[in-house]
Amino acid sequence: MKRQIPIFLVFLFGVIMLFQFFVPHEYSQEVYKYLLDWIIVIGIFAVAIGIWSLFKVAVEKVRNRKEGWQYSYVTLAGLFAMLIFGFTSRNVEGGEWGWFFVFVSAILLTVGMILQAMVDRKKSGLYGGAAVGFVIISIIIAIFDNAWAFHFGTAEGLSATMFVTFFDYILIPIFATMFSLLAFFIASAAYRAFRARNVMSSLLLIAALIVMLRFNPLLEPIFGMGLSKTSLWLMNVPNMAAQRAIIMGVGLGIVATALKGILGIERNYMGKG
C-alpha cells in the first residue's frame, strides 16, 4: 500500500489536470484554482523538508570533517538569520533596536549548539543544555522587548531594514560575483567552440562574429545596413528555427516524462527506481 497509494494519487490528479485544460467550464476552473492552492501548501512543506535536509547535510559535513566543513556554520547562520529578519521589524522606523541583536545571536547560538550536539554525541547533553539556555534567553527577549515585533501574517518583515540591508549588500553582490565568474567560463567555452576546425564550426564562428559586430558603430560606415540586415536574418531565420526545434523537443520530453509519472513507470519521486 505504501507504493500503490502514491501511484494512484499521481495517476488520479494527473488525469484530472490533463482533462481540466480541455474543459472550459466554470466548475473546471474552480477545481483548477483549488488544486493550485494545494500546490502552495505542498510547497510550504517542501521548504520545511529542504531546510531539514540542509541541516542534516551540514551535520554530516562537520561530523566527517569534509572539505569546506567550516562553511556549513556560515550557511546555517545565514539561513536562520534571514528567516528571523524576514519575520521581524522595528516597531518605530528609525527607532532603537533594543535587544534584537542579542535575540538573533541567541537563536544562532541555539542552532550552533544543536548542530554540535548532533555532531559530538559524547557531549550532546552539554550542548543540548546550552541550546535550552539560549532558547530561554531568546524567548524572554521576544516577550519583554518592545522595540521590535514579529510579523507572521504580513509581508512587513520583507521590507524591514535588516532584511533589505542583507539582501542588497550581501546577497546581490554574491550573485554579481558568481555571474562575473560565470562570464569568464562562458568566454573560455566560446573560444573553444569557435575554433574553425571544420565547415560547421567555421559557419558558427562567422555567424557569431556577424551578430556581435553589428553593434559596432565603427563598422556601420563601411558595411552600411548590410551587416545589420544579415544579423537580423541570422537571428530571425536559422536561429529561430533551431530554437523552435529545441522547444518542441523539450515539450515532447516533458509530455513523455509526465505520462511516465502518471502511468507509474517513473517512480523516482518515491525514492525507488
pTM score, whole prediction: 0.69
CA atoms within 13 Å, Cβ hemisphere of 26: 0
Coil vs helix vs strand at 11: helix
> Per-residue pLDDT tens for 164-212?
888 899 989 999 999 888 878 887 777 777 776 778 778 877 888 888 7
Domain definitions of the chain by residue range: 1-66, 70-164, 196-270
What is the Cα–Cα distance from 61 to 75, expressed in whole angstroms? 12
Coil vs helix vs strand at 224: coil
Mean pLDDT of the chain: 86
Distance of CA 134 to the CA centre of its chain: 30
What is the Cα–Cα distance from 71 to 62, expressed in whole angstroms? 9
Any idea which residue has 544579423 for its cell?
231
Q: Can you state the angle between helices 100-119 and 26-64, rounded to 10 degrees?
A: 70
Which of 62-66, 127-131, 149-153, 222-226 is most confident?
127-131
What is the Cα–Cα distance from 57 to 11, expressed in whole angstroms? 33
What is the Cα–Cα distance from 205 to 193, expressed in whole angstroms? 8
Across 248-268, average pLDDT: 87
- Among candidates 75, 104, 111, which has minimal Cα distance to 88? 104
140 CB-near residues (< 8 Å, 6+ apart): none
